[in-house]
């Protein structure tokens, strides 16, 4: 997915900005995927909330420091559109709309026959089925104003945005590149991060439905430090029961999405969910993994990358898998 806002450049930096962090990764090689370097910076609460920039000046100052420290000024940038901003929706259009006319048709129908919870979206689409009378499309959309705030900020700091992506596609791209995908697979991805959880169901390579849920985050209950590699280490110092309540809420949402997918299939000969794929930067992600294995009959998988060297300096932290998947995106 690309939001068609950009031109193509070389030597691309891959940037992931969310409510609690800024991460960058530069790719060394694609096969097997290997990063050349990566770094991250913790974002204090209140600068970005639910994917929307709240404190533009603070974010600009922090990002400028990162650009100088990481030596990436004037580089081309891919970035992830924050999960809370993105909507994936199936839409149906007349079959006689030609391929080169689809985008214009969608522009005309947005707000009339196609309704989104925001005005003036930036969007892309993926063609699904054509029965001769209608065409079914998968629409990816986000509010243009919020996306352009990131683009304008990057441009102001002398970076060159060339492509935008969404997190489930970046994660799946890495999963597929590592030859982990199976034929006729229905994959349920769970991106479990410190301040939010993103759920997405893939029918083979197509993300059919996505749901995002924010997690409450009280900075006073967390200790944030850096490890020897300069990466974030977050330790929860509050009452464990508070995290348990959060996790139970998310498991309920996982169950709701499972039920929704099964109901939407009706009597179709589609498979049920064949696998969970768990990833994320939450410090309890392995406990979440164990709990999912206990609760569900569906296999639960984690992305792993085997390194030829055992040096810890060459290992790739799991919270960098998302920008690594982004790095595998082709810029058109």
Q: The domain that contains 160 carries what CATH number?
A: 3.30.420.380
Structural domain count of the chain: 1
Q: 226 vs 19, 35, 102, 193, 235, CA distance in Å? A: 18, 20, 48, 17, 11
- From first to last of the 332 residues of the chain, give the pLDDT tens digit: 445 444 444 579 999 999 999 999 998 888 778 888 899 999 999 999 999 999 999 999 999 999 999 999 999 999 999 999 999 999 999 999 999 899 999 988 887 888 888 888 999 999 988 888 999 999 999 999 999 999 999 999 999 999 999 999 999 999 999 999 998 899 999 999 999 999 999 998 999 999 999 999 999 999 999 887 778 899 999 888 889 999 999 999 999 999 999 888 765 655 789 999 999 999 999 999 999 999 999 999 999 886 543 344 456 788 899 999 999 998 54
7 domain-assigned: no
C-alpha to C-alpha distance for 3 and 52, rounded to whole angstroms: 17
Cβ pair 239, 217 in contact under 8 A = no
- Vertex 327, ends 82 and 187: CA angle to 5°? 65
Q: What is the pLDDT of residue 140?
A: 93
Q: What is the pLDDT of residue 1?
A: 47
Q: What is the pLDDT of residue 30?
A: 81
Q: What is the pLDDT of residue 176?
A: 93
4 domain-assigned: no
Q: What is the pLDDT of residue 7?
A: 43
Question: Residue 311: enclosing H or E segment and its boundaries?
Answer: none
Q: What is the pLDDT of residue 289?
A: 96
5 domain-assigned: no
6 domain-assigned: no
55 domain-assigned: yes
Where are the alpha helices (H) located in 132-268, listed in sequence order?
A: 144-156, 167-177, 240-265
2 domain-assigned: no
Q: What is the pLDDT of residue 269?
A: 55
Q: What is the pLDDT of residue 114?
A: 85
C-alpha to C-alpha distance for 6 and 62, rounded to whole angstroms: 24
332 domain-assigned: no
Domain limits for position 306? 12-327
Question: Residue 146: enclosing H or E segment and its boundaries?
Answer: helix 144-156
Q: What is the pLDDT of residue 129?
A: 87
- Vertex 73, ends 69 and 74: CA angle to 5°? 170
């Amino acid at each position: 997915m690309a939001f068609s806002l950009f031109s193509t450049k070389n030597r691309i930096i891959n940037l992931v900005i969310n409510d609690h962090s800024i991460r960058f990764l530069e790719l060394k090689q694609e096969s097997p995927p290997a990063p050349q370097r990566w770094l991250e910076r913790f974002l204090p609460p209140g600068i970005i909330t639910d994917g929307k920039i709240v404190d533009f000046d603070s974010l600009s100052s922090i990002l400028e420091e990162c650009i100088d420290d990481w030596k990436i000024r004037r580089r081309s940038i891919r970035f992830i559109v924050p999960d809370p901003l993105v909507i994936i929706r199936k839409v149906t259009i007349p079959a006689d709309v030609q391929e080169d006319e689809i985008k214009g048709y969608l522009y005309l129908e947005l707000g009339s026959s196609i309704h989104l919870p925001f005005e003036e979206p930036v969007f892309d689409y993926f063609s699904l089925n054509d029965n001769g009378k209608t065409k079914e499309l998968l629409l990816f959309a986000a509010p243009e104003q919020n996306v352009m705030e990131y683009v304008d900020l990057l441009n102001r700091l002398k970076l060159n945005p060339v492509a935008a992506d969404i997190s489930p596609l970046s994660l799946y791209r890495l999963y597929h590149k590592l030859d982990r995908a199976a034929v006729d697979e229905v994959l349920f991805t769970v991106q479990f991060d410190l301040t939010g959880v993103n759920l997405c169901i893939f029918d083979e390579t197509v993300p059919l439905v996505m749901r995002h849920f924010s997690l409450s985050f009280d900075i006073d209950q967390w200790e944030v430090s850096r490890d020897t590699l300069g990466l974030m280490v977050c330790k929860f110092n509050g009452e464990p029961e508070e995290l348990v309540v959060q996790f139970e809420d998310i498991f309920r949402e996982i169950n709701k999405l499972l039920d929704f997918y099964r109901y939407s299939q009706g009597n179709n000969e589609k498979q049920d969910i064949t696998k969970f794929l768990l990833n994320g930067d939450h410090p309890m992600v392995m406990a979440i993994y164990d709990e999912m294995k206990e609760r569900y009959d569906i296999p639960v998988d984690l992305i792993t990358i085997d390194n030829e060297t055992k040096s810890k300096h060459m290992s790739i932290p799991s919270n960098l898998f998302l920008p690594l998947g982004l790095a595998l995106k082709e810029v058109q």
